[in-house]
Amino acid sequence: MNTRSALLQRLQDIGQSLQQSGDALALFGLGSAGIERERMDRWSDLDFFAIAKNGKKARLIDRLDWLSSIRPLAFAYRNTIDGHKVMFDDGIFCEFAVFELDELPRIFYSPGQMVWAAPGVPETICEPVAQPVATKPEDWLIGEILGNLYVGLGRYARGEHLSGFRLVQVDAVNRVLELTALAGVPAALTDRFAPERRFEFRYPDQPVVAFMPGYTATPQAAIHILDWLSARYPVNAAMDKTIRQIVAEILSRAPQTP
């Protein structure tokens, strides 16, 4: 894997390459490549926005020579209409988007850190103007968790084990993560776009393993999630009772170990 110094140097190299291209106005890093660089380690990738001159966005997206001129690209694909995920041949992985200045006010992103900017480009573009999408309310998340457990267990009982697994051990757990993200924790430990990020550091004692015990243990996972939820939040009594009854029925039908 790559060292922190190699990652930071690659950011500088990308900024210099954009400057030499004549098609860009700025480059700023995001996440651990931005204002959270204390988190950067050998497992980090580079997230960044390249800011194109007017009319040059498509050129920077369609032709990645401004990256391959630094080092050959071993992997690249366009993951959004605005950018790519790429890996250089030395293993440095990047995820980036290209925008023009007039697009930035319409986009919500995490605050970034300028790497390079042409004269006259304000550093304030690293700060988002757009407001984030409203956080889902607590009662909605609780209702979704209960619904995921009920429907997932029904599908599991029917024999649709994959669908049941996903609803209980993926979808319901995702909603649990969103619930925990509503609690007041240091901003450096949160990720607005991915509540699972750094979860272990925010809640080292949470029994996440019990929520995802594996493909054949969806009923057990459902009970652990329901127990966790009911110990912390108001849970509809009828749903609580019904979910527990479904789990009991499923487990009663399971083959007994001699």
Eight-state DSSP code of residue 216: T
Residue 75 is inside which H or E element, if any? strand 73-80
Question: How high does pLDDT run on average in the chain?
Answer: 90
* Mean pLDDT on 95-106: 97
Q: Comparing C-alpha atoms, which of 246, 245, 171, 249 is closest to residue 211?
A: 171
Residues 6+ apart with CB under 8 A from 136: 178
pLDDT at 55: 97
pLDDT at 199: 72
Q: What band does 257 get if pLDDT is binned at 50, 70 and 90? A: very low
Range from 57-61, 94-98, 205-209, 235-239 carrying the lowest mean pLDDT: 205-209
Note the pLDDT tens digit of each residue in 178-224: 888 776 554 444 556 566 666 776 667 666 778 999 999 999 999 99
Range from 59-73, 91-105, 168-182 carrying the lowest mean pLDDT: 168-182
Please tell me the pTM assigned to this model: 0.74
Q: Are 99 and 51 in contact (CB under 8 A)?
A: yes
Higher confidence at residue 137 or residue 70?
70
The percent of the chain in helix, strand and coil, each rounded to the nearest 5, is 50, 15, 35
Q: What band does 258 get if pLDDT is binned at 50, 70 and 90? A: very low
| CA atoms of 59 and 119, how far apart (whole Å) | 21
pLDDT at 133: 66
pLDDT at 104: 96
Q: Residue 85 is encoded by which pair of tokens?
A: 């995920």
Q: Residue 43 is encoded by which pair of tokens?
A: 């497992």
pLDDT at 47: 96
